[in-house]
């Protein structure tokens, strides 16, 4: 593809690192604003259909409102009660879900198990730790919810002042991720119960097996600060920043420790339990189990409504299906939070993706102004400026970022500035930045694809460019944009048969990308499949192409085609989207 894909912020692990630094809850409720009530005088079946449709469309609060009314109107049959329960939980009304939790012999086993977990969390959120512990340790609370119960039960035990069960090593039954989280929680619970030597031993044991996410070092560093051992904490923070220079949590921790600032407090029991669910949910998202992840995030917010990492992930999950609910999640992050810039950047992109470029740019400028030291905020602004055609301003902003990077250059900055230069038609500057980026990240698929396509589209270094794009495709075989570049390389080399095979695959992987369909039309035309070429080109016009691409495709469709004239009328302004 000629235009590189836009870069977004880091995923779950970086946003989870708020661990021990987040303030206590300040929001009154984790539930989003209530939807309009269902209209009166609708039959239970009508209410059920409306709720079912709303759930399919991702409008979770509306789904719950309809399904709850349907269950009540129909006398609470079990199948409707289960649906209303699930809808309430996913919409964020955990209290309502706990009240609706299915039980009894008629309730499906998965719903009963989830109901026990929900009721356990609700009891914990209300301070009834004894009831919560009984629910969370119930033998019936089995797969797939047992993992969450294993993580939560020690916090309920600590709330009961049951030190033996609070600090006993949890058995995650062979699940290394759950065991990691359980052991990390145990270190904090050991400290809470006054077992500081045991806590430090637990932290060191976790460090010994690796800490790719940085979660252990952040928690251990906070522990060291609370013990007055700032120098040891500073060493940990610097070690992490050597690996991940842009990690905002460690940047903030290091600045605090260097100034001998007030150590972060140990998280409350509710905060610790909420954080455990957040980490579990992030793992589920990585495994493509989005619905269960959403349910765990809602439970995490019931325990700690100010869990900003959970709000960010909820926004990410809801953005593709309910953009208003996603925006509601993102705007809950306060300016004092380490996730503020990330949330505001994502909020801006929801407007950009919806075509409201002015609002997106407004949010991005406000965020960059509110957080002038944040490189992420500046990068998002630069990316949006480029996407909106403000190429010179984008390049100037990226130049300032590159100049202030010092001895820690970032290939992404050169990549994005190269994209701005390419859009301006400055080929020499584009190649200079691509060369600099490739020196820093010679195996990065996005970068290999950009450099390769840059040459391919200009008919230069075709064999070398083909090899680069092939490497990118080997690394990311499901990328339609990279497959498009591969097909276009074969096209430029005159191998139209192979080009068509690759471009058809690209169109199946990225059917809504205008450039892919334009290239597919070119390949169809070259092999004599002219009607299919025309259909491919007409499809481009339905995909909101940029003005240059639209003009190019309209010219292709309007040009004389010899004896094989188009069977469809030439495009007019009336049938443009």
Chain segment 433-459, per-residue pLDDT in tens: 999 999 999 999 999 999 999 999 999
The DSSP-derived string for 506-523 is HHHHSTT-HHHHHHHHHH
Average pLDDT over residues 17-21: 32
d(CA 448, CA 463): 14
Q: Which domains does the chain have, with CATH numbers?
A: 11-19+41-338 (1.25.40), 360-442 (1.25.40.10), 444-577 (1.25.40.10)
Q: Residue 232: which H helix or E strand, with range? A: helix 230-243
DSSP 328: H
**Can you read off the two tokens belonging to residue 71?**
């269950």
Q: In the prediction, which pLDDT does 40 show?
A: 64
Note the residue count of the chain. 577
d(CA 278, CA 296): 7
Chain segment 169-188, per-residue pLDDT in tens: 888 777 888 899 999 999 99
Q: In the prediction, which pLDDT does 41 show?
A: 62
Chain segment 44-58, per-residue pLDDT in tens: 667 767 666 766 666
574 has pLDDT over 60: no
Whether 347 contacts 331, CB under 8 Å? yes
Q: In the prediction, which pLDDT does 244 show?
A: 87
d(CA 45, CA 49): 6
Residue, of 543 and 33, whose pLDDT is higher? 543
153 closest CA partner among 174, 141, 144: 141
Chain segment 308-338, per-residue pLDDT in tens: 999 999 999 999 988 999 999 999 999 989 8
Q: Residue 158: which H helix or E strand, with range? A: helix 146-159
Per-residue pLDDT band for 274 (boundaries 50, 70, 90) equals very high
Q: Tokens 């940990």 map to which residue?
A: 236
Chain segment 127-140, per-residue pLDDT in tens: 999 999 999 999 99
Share of the chain above pLDDT 70, in %: 86
514 has pLDDT over 80: yes
Average pLDDT over residues 3-11: 28
Chain segment 367-414, per-residue pLDDT in tens: 999 999 899 999 999 999 999 999 999 999 999 999 998 777 899 999
The DSSP-derived string for 353-383 is HTT-HHHHHHHHHHHHHH-TT-HHHHHHHHH
Q: In the prediction, which pLDDT does 270 show?
A: 97
d(CA 221, CA 525): 63
Per-residue pLDDT band for 34 (boundaries 50, 70, 90) equals low
Chain segment 239-260, per-residue pLDDT in tens: 999 988 878 889 999 999 999 9
408 CB-contact burial (10 Å; exposed 0-12 / middle 13-18 / buried 19+): exposed
144 has pLDDT over 60: yes
């Amino acid at each position: 593809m000629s235009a590189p894909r836009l870069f977004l912020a880091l995923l779950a692990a970086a946003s989870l690192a708020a661990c021990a630094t987040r303030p206590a809850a300040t929001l009154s409720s984790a539930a989003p604003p209530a939807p309009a009530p269902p209209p009166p005088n609708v039959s239970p079946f009508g209410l059920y259909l409306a709720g079912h449709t709303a759930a399919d469309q991702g409008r979770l609060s509306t789904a719950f409102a309809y399904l709850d009314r349907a269950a009540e109107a129909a006398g609470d049959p079990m199948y409707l009660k289960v649906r209303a329960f699930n809808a309430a939980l996913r919409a964020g009304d955990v209290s309502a879900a706990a009240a609706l939790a299915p039980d009894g012999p008629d309730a499906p086993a998965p719903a009963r198990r989830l109901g026990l977990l929900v009721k356990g969390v609700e009891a914990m959120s209300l301070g009834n730790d004894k009831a919560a512990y009984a629910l969370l340790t119930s033998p019936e609370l089995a797969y797939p919810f047992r993992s969450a119960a294993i993580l939560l039960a020690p916090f309920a035990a600590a709330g009961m002042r049951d030190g033996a069960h609070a600090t006993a090593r949890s058995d995650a039954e062979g699940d290394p991720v759950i065991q990691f989280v359980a052991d990390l929680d145990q270190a904090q619970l050991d400290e809470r119960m006054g077992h500081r030597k045991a806590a430090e031993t637990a932290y060191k044991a976790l460090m010994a097996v690796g800490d790719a996410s940085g979660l252990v070092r952040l928690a251990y560093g906070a522990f060291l600060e609370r013990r007055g051992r700032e120098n040891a904490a500073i060493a940990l923070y610097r070690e992490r920043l050597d690996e991940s220079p842009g990690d905002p949590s460690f940047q903030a921790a290091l600045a605090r420790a260097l100034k001998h600032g007030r150590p972060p407090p140990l998280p409350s029991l509710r905060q610790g339990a909420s954080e455990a669910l957040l980490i579990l949910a992030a793992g589920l998202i990585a495994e493509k189990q989005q619905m269960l992840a959403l349910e765990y995030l809602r439970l995490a917010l019931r325990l700690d409504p100010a869990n900003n990492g959970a709000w960010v992930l909820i926004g990410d999950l809801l953005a593709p299906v309910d953009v208003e609910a996603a925006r509601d999640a993102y705007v809950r992050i306060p300016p004092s939070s380490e996730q503020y810039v990330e949330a505001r950047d994502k909020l801006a992109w929801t407007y950009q993706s919806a075509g409201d470029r002015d609002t997106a740019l407004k949010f991005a400028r406000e965020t960059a102004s509110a957080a002038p030291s944040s490189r992420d905020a500046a990068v998002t602004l630069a990316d949006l400026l480029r996407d909106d055609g403000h190429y010179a301003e984008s390049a100037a902003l990226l130049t300032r970022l590159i100049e202030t990077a010092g001895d820690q250059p970032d290939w992404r900055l050169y990549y994005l500035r190269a994209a701005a230069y390419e859009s301006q038609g400055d080929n020499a500057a584009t190649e200079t930045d691509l060369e600099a980026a490739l020196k820093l990240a010679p195996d990065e698929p996005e970068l290999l694809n950009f450099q390769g396509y840059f040459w391919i589209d200009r008919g230069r270094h075709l064999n070398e460019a083909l090899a680069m794009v092939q490497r990118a495709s080997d690394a990311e075989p499901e990328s339609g944009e990279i497959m498009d570049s591969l097909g276009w390389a074969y096209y430029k080399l005159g191998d139209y048969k192979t080009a068509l095979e690759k471009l058809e695959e690209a169109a199946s992987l990225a059917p809504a990308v205008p450039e892919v369909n334009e290239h597919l039309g070119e390949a169809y035309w070259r092999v004599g499949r002219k009607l299919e070429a025309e259909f491919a080109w007409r499809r481009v016009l339905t995909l909101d192409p940029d003005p240059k691409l639209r003009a190019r495709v309209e010219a292709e469709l309007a040009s004389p085609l010899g004896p094989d004239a188009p069977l469809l009328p030439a495009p007019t302004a009336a049938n443009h989207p």
